[in-house]
C-alpha cells in the first residue's frame, strides 16, 4: 500500500513533514546541484535581519560529543537580498513550502522584516525567531518572557497575512506559558526548540573554545529534552507545532509527530550529513509499514 506522507501545516499542504531547520541548509540554493530539493516538505531559510550581518568573531563552531556548539551570530545578507534575490532564485527550483526565518533587535525591525517577507510572493510561511542565544541583547530577550514573546507575535501578526510561527527558546523555566502567550496573541503555529546555551573549554589553552565563550548547543544529545517540550506544548496549545532539536532519523520524526508535532525540522544533522533530510524522507515509508501506519497525519499527538 502506498503511504501518505503529507501533512497540513497552517493551512499549507506539505508533501512530507521533513524540513531542514534554519541555519543548517543555507538558502537551499547551495545544495540544489547535489540533490532534488523537491523531495523536501519545506525549507526554513537562513535567519534574516533588517541589515546584513557578518556574525560573531571566530572560532564560532565547536564539535561536542553528541552534537555541536555554534555562535555564528546571525550572519546573513539582510532582508532585501532575501526577498529580491534568494527566494526568487529558490522558487525557480523548488515547489514546496518556503519558510522565511526572521530575527530582530526591536519590534520595529521584526515588523519591517516580516512585512517584507509577507509581501514576497515566493514565501509561504514566516518563522519568527525570538530564541537565538548567540547575539547579545538580541532575539533571546524577546523569547524569555511570555509578555515579550506575545508582544512580538502581535506586532508581526498586524502586518502579515501569511501564517506566522514563533520559534521558541528552550532556555526558559516554563516554555508552555510562553507558547500559550504566543497563541493568545495570534500566532498560527510554533516551532520548538531552538538551541540550548552551552560552553566548552580548551583545557590546554585554558580558554573557551568559542570566541564568544558560549553558544547554542544542538545535535542528537538534545533530542529527549526537545521531544519533552514538544509534547508539553502540543498538548497545551491548539495551534500546530513544528518539532525541532536533535532529529537525525526517520524514527525521530515519528517520535516527534506522536508527541504532537505536525512537521519536523532537521538541524545539526544536516551539517554532519548534507543529505540527511532526503534520506529521512526516503526511509519513512518502510518505517510506516513496519509500524502499521498508513498516513502520517493520523499519528500526530497520539501519545
Catalytic residue numbers, as ranges: 132
Q: What angle do CA 132, 109, 75 make, to 5 degrees?
A: 45
Per-residue pLDDT of the chain (303 residues; tens, 9 = 90+): 899 999 999 999 999 999 999 999 999 999 999 999 999 999 999 999 999 999 999 999 999 999 999 999 999 999 999 999 999 999 999 999 999 999 998 899 999 999 999 999 999 999 999 975 434 444 456 888 899 999 999 999 999 999 999 999 999 999 999 999 999 999 999 999 999 999 999 999 999 999 999 999 999 999 999 999 999 999 999 999 999 999 999 999 999 999 999 999 999 999 999 999 999 999 999 999 999 999 999 999 999
Distance CA 188, CA 160 (A): 11
Cβ 71 vs Cβ 78: under 8 Å: no
Pairing of strands 42-44, 18-20: unpaired
Cβ 163 vs Cβ 188: under 8 Å: yes
| Total Cβ atoms within 10 A of residue 204 | 6
Structure letter (DSSP) for residue 104: -
The β-bridge partners of 264 are 18, 243
Distance CA 273, CA 66 (A): 14
User: Looking at the domain that runs over 7-299, which CATH code has it been given?
Assistant: 3.20.20.70
Cβ 68 vs Cβ 271: under 8 Å: yes
| Sign of the CA dihedral with 33 first, then 41, 267, and 46 last | positive
Any residues with CB less than 8 A from the CB of 62 and at least 6 apart, and which? 68, 69, 70, 200, 209, 210, 215
Number of alpha helices (DSSP H) and beta strands (DSSP E) in the chain = 10, 16
pTM listed for this prediction: 0.96
Cβ 160 vs Cβ 118: under 8 Å: yes
Give me Rg for the CA atoms of the chain: 18
Distance CA 74, CA 145 (A): 21
Amino acid at each position: 500500500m502506498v503511504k501518505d506522507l503529507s501533512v497540513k501545516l497552517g493551512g499549507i499542504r506539505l508533501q512530507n513533514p521533513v524540513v531542514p531547520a534554519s541555519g543548517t541548509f543555507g538558502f537551499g540554493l547551495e545544495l540544489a546541484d547535489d540533490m532534488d530539493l523537491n523531495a523536501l516538505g519545506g525549507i526554513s531559510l537562513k535567519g534574516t535581519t533588517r541589515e546584513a550581518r557578518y556574525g560573531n568573531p571566530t572560532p564560532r563552531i565547536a564539535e561536542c560529543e553528541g552534537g555541536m556548539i555554534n555562535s555564528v551570530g546571525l550572519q546573513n545578507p539582510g532582508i532585501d537580498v532575501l526577498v529580491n534575490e534568494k527566494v526568487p532564485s529558490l522558487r525557480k527550483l523548488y515547489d514546496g513550502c518556503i519558510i522565511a526565518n526572521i530575527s530582530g533587535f526591536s519590534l520595529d525591525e521584526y515588523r519591517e522584516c516580516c512585512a517584507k517577507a509577507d509581501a514576497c510572493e515566493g514565501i509561504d510561511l514566516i518563522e519568527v525567531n525570538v530564541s537565538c542565544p548567540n547575539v547579545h541583547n538580541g532575539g533571546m530577550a524577546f523569547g524569555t518572557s511570555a509578555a515579550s514573546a506575545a508582544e512580538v507575535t502581535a506586532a508581526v501578526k498586524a502586518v502579515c497575512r501569511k501564517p506566522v510561527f514563533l520559534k521558541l527558546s528552550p532556555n526558559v523555566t516554563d516554555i508552555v506559558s510562553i507558547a500559550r502567550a504566543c497563541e493568545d496573541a495570534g500566532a498560527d503555529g510554533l516551532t520548538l526548540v531552538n538551541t540550548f546555551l552551552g560552553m566548552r573549554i580548551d583545557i590546554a589553552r585554558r580558554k573557551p573554545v568559542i570566541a564568544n565563550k558560549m553558544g547554542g548547543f544542538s545535535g542528537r544529545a538534545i533530542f529527549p529534552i526537545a521531544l519533552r517540550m514538544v509534547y508539553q506544548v502540543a498538548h497545551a496549545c491548539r495551534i500546530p507545532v513544528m518539532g525541532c532539536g536533535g532529529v537525525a532519523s526517520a524514527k525521530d520524526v515519528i517520535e516527534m509527530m506522536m508527541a504532537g508535532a505536525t512537521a519536523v525540522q532537521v538541524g545539526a544533522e544536516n551539517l554532519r550529513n548534507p543529505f540527511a533530510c532526503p534520506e529521512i524522507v526516503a526511509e519513512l515509508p518502510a518505517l510506516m509499514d513496519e509500524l502499521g501506519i498508513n498516513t502520517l497525519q493520523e499519528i500526530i499527538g497520539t501519545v
